[in-house]
Amino acid sequence: MFHKEGYKIILIATFILGAGIILVENFIELIWLNKLLASSLLIFYILILQFFRNPKRNTILNDHHIIAPVDGKVVVIEEVFEKEYFKDKRIQVSIFMSPINVHVTRYPISGTINFSKYHPGKYLVAWHPKSSEENERTTVVVENKIIGKILYRQIAGAMAKRIVNYAKSNEKVIQGADAGFIKFGSRVDLFLPLNTKINVKLNDKVRGGEQVIATL
């Protein structure tokens, strides 16, 4: 199953693969070069399919749980001052996605969207300390009665050239549902209340839409 944001790119990649194979078979006479180019085209196509996959996740709804919004590796767990929306101290948990991870963004809690804003910006590597403030990004705040407000931020990386955000202000959303997509390598930051119990450690690999990364 593939994400709808990838349909156009998959179609273009399919055309490139087909045209490339025809050209290689008809104009490249050296067998080793023929096989090398054909294999390269196939690998390119498989990587595109891999990137836009959208596996079904079994989200167990729980208003006390904060689930991972994306697949990837936990690269930051620290207390910070969040200055865009809360303007106070929060626990930041950051998840880095490599190009081979599933890049679907999912809502970490159920609730109401209080804030959703897109910021144009740079394309620093996603693990750069300034990427959270200077890169292209979206900021979304979701609130429920148990946890209160949490903020998640989709951040573009050096390769990511488009962030897709489905969150709209005042919309009610369901934990684990499709919240957007980031194309080609990126990061998501979560900003949680200080009394949150964090259930992951640095360098843990997490599974979006299913794994409980924090509780209240």
Return the pLDDT at 170: 96
Read off the pLDDT of each residue in 170-183 and give the average, rounded to a whole number: 93
The alpha carbon of 49 is separated from its chain's Cα centroid by a whole number of angstroms, namely 16
Read off the pLDDT of each residue in 146-171 and give the average, rounded to a whole number: 86
Which tens digits make up the pLDDT trace of 66-107?
999 999 999 999 999 999 999 999 999 999 988 788 889 999
pTM for the whole structure? 0.85
Q: Give the C-alpha separation, 81 to 101, whole Å.
A: 29
Q: Give the C-alpha separation, 213 to 55, whole Å.
A: 19
Q: Give the C-alpha separation, 52 to 104, whole Å.
A: 8
Which tens digits make up the pLDDT trace of 102-142?
889 999 999 999 999 999 876 666 555 565 666 788 999 99
Distances (CA, A) of 12 to 20, 109, 144, 195: 12, 35, 41, 48
131 is catalytic: no
Helix, coil or strand: residue 16: helix
Within the chain, residue ranges assigned H as helices are: 7-27, 31-51, 131-134
> Which residues, including other chains, have CB under 8 Å from residue 110's CB and lie 6 or more apart?
61, 63, 142, 144, 172, 173, 174, 175
Residue in 94, 110, 131, 186 annotated catalytic: 186
| Mean model confidence pLDDT for the chain | 89
